[in-house]
Amino acid sequence: MGDLTEPFQFEFFVRGMVAATLVGLLCGAVGVYVVLRSLAYIGHGLAHSIFGGAVVSFVSGISFYIGATLWGVFTVLLINAAARRRQIGGDAAIGIITTCAFALGVALISRHGQFTRDFDAALFGEILGITSGDLAVIGGVLVLAAAVVFAFWKQLLFTTFDSDVASTYGVPVPWVEALFSLVLAATVIASLQVLGATLIAAALVIPPVTARLLTDSFTRMFTLAALLGGASGLVGVYVSWFIDVSSGATVVLLQGALFALALVWAVARSRWPGSGSGERLAAIEGAAID
């Protein structure tokens, strides 16, 4: 029994676990909008782009959070501007801008010597290196995201469901989209230390998709995605202590396992007509429903 409580003796571990829980919750909730708008790629791209920003801020000697925020906002605005040009298209715009930003980070690292521990953390996450300052940033972003989602719940929902029609009903769609992009960028920045650039997209996508398999209600999907994200952060970090595996990877693998369970459950239920699971499965696959 003593073994099971062993990690709690260490303050850095408790901080890491709290950080992973909050980041899981944050990514799960924000990810609902990402998934429903089919923007999974933007989360992935943004994380890689912000890695470039992290390197630039390290090389130029400014704070990671200031550098990454400026970089993140710049990238988001650039993606939005490029995506509006129909000749390019959103996915190509994201691909070009974010990979170039990532490549810039890698180029700067190769110019300035080897991978340091900091860059390792930015790429793969280093949860046990979380400081109370990092924790304050994560908490701040969570409060910001919660405030934006609460205050703009209806506008976000309408824009996510159908942005074209939302604007005919007077929703200021460009503003809502810009505000959401900033929340997404802040989420990615706050999550970088915990999950790393390579794993953030998973935390943004897996809990919402799992929640979608389990419910047909937007409100329940939102709540469930946040809870699944938070719980997998908490449990993932705790388990990672005992199995001696990278905590970010354990969190994501746990989310993957929960998704697999939900999928099995949905497939099993779809055999009973009227359960709705068959349709939900099709919805996840993006298939058309007659």
Partner 1 sequence: MVELAPSAPGHRPPPHPDGEPLVELRDLSTGYERTPVLQNVDFTLRRGEFAGVVGPSGSGKTTLLRAIAGQTRRFAGAIEATPRAGERALRLGYVPQVEAINWNFPLTVGQAVLLGRWREMGWRPWPRRHDRELLANILERLGIGHLANRQIRALSGGQQQRTFLARALIGDPDLLLLDEPTSGVDIKTRHEIMHLLGELNRAGTTILMSTHDLNAVATHLPRLVCVGEGALVADGSPEEVLTPEVLRRTYGAEMLVLRRGDAIYVVEHLDDAMTGDAEETPVPVAPVGG
* Closest among 19, 42, 50 to 229, alpha carbons compared: 19
The smaller minimum CB distance to partner 1, of residues 256 and 276, is found at: 276
- Cα separation of 216 and 277, whole Å? 9
- Cα separation of 172 and 154, whole Å? 12
Residue list 32-91, contact with partner 1 (CB under 8 A): 36, 86
Question: Shortest Cβ distance from residue 288 to partner 1 (Å)?
Answer: 8
* Closest among 258, 251, 3 to 127, alpha carbons compared: 251
A 10 A CB-CB count for 286 gives: 7
The smaller minimum CB distance to partner 1, of residues 6 and 162, is found at: 162
Q: Is the dihedral of CA 266, 162, 226, 69 positive or negative?
A: positive
Could you say whether residue 172 binds partner 1 (CB under 8 A)? no
Write each residue from 223 to 262 as x if it is in contact with partner 1 (CB under 8 A), else as -, in one continuous string: ----------------------------------------
Residue list 189-218, contact with partner 1 (CB under 8 A): 212, 215-218
Residues that bind partner 1 (rule: CB under 8 A) add up to a total of 33
Structure tokens given for 137: 């940033």
Residue indicated by tokens 């398999």: 213
Q: Are 160 and 176 in contact (CB under 8 A)?
A: no
> Which member of 161, 175, 265, 272 binds partner 1 (CB under 8 A)?
161
The smaller minimum CB distance to partner 1, of residues 102 and 158, is found at: 158
Binding interface with partner 1 (CB under 8 A): 36, 86, 150-151, 153-155, 157-158, 160-162, 164-171, 212, 215-219, 221, 276, 279, 282-283, 286, 289
